[in-house]
């Protein structure tokens, strides 16, 4: 068991029966009264960000987690199959651990957060950006670059996003996986 003096950014703890990761913390020693530690934590399973204050010296249960790189292979029913890029071990990840499965494409390398003691996958993190080809969108009109008007488009992974009017079918674009927003056109 550790205590509040061991708290640091990125530390994963078991808080109220749920795994939480410390985003930021601040040791506070007021002029009157005991010291305390103010924290901001993200629950790993749900992604919720919570504020919590620990009294100084409070015991915390530290959980060891590991980030490992895995390559996406294929979908198998309700789960997705990934391969470890170092030892070629395959693991099935349930769909509920993937926040945006529509951005998965064959061969993409993702980071999977594992509970180290139990070898249990907790969260799958997609890369920040993916490069994909537009499979369908309405034809653009020449000269339509002055406005910020967007139109729907389908990318090769099957996800539907909004792109500027000048983007046509067959072009390659960069997409932000956190928001699903078009970033830029990519030259081949």
Q: Each residue of 15-49: pLDDT tens digit?
A: 988 899 899 999 999 988 899 999 999 888 777 89
The confidence score (pLDDT) of residue 146 equals 63
Domains recognised in the chain with CATH numbers: 2-62 (2.30.30.30), 65-125 (2.40.50.140), 129-186 (2.40.50.140)
Query: What pLDDT is attached to residue 109?
Result: 94
pLDDT value of residue 40:
95
Percent of the chain exceeding pLDDT 90 equals 46
Which pLDDT does position 133 carry in this prediction? 93
**Four-residue CA torsion sign, 47, 183, 132, 83:** negative
Position 51 scores a pLDDT of 94
Residues of the chain with pLDDT under 50: none
DSSP 16-73: TTEEEEEEEEEEE--SSS--EEEEEEEETTT--EEEEEEETT-EEEE--EEEEEEEEE
């Amino acid at each position: 068991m550790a205590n509040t003096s061991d708290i640091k950014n990125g530390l994963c703890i078991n808080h109220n029966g749920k795994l939480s990761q410390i985003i930021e913390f601040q040791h506070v020693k007021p002029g009157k009264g005991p010291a305390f530690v103010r924290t901001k934590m993200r629950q790993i399973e749900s992604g919720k960000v919570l504020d919590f204050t620990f009294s100084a010296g409070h015991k915390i249960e530290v959980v060891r987690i590991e980030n490992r790189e895995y390559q996406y292979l294929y979908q198998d029913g309700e789960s997705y199959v990934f391969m470890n890029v170092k030892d070629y071990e395959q693991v099935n990840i349930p769909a509920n651990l993937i926040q945006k499965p529509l951005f998965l494409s064959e061969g993409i390398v993702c980071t999977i957060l594992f509970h180290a003691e139990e070898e249990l996958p907790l969260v799958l993190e997609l890369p920040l950006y993916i490069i994909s080809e537009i499979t369908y969108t309405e034809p653009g009109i020449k000269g339509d670059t002055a406005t910020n008007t967007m139109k729907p488009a389908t990318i090769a992974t099957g996800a539907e996003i909004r792109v500027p009017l000048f983007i046509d079918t067959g072009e390659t674009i960069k997409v932000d996986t956190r928001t699903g927003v078009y970033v830029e056109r990519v030259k081949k």
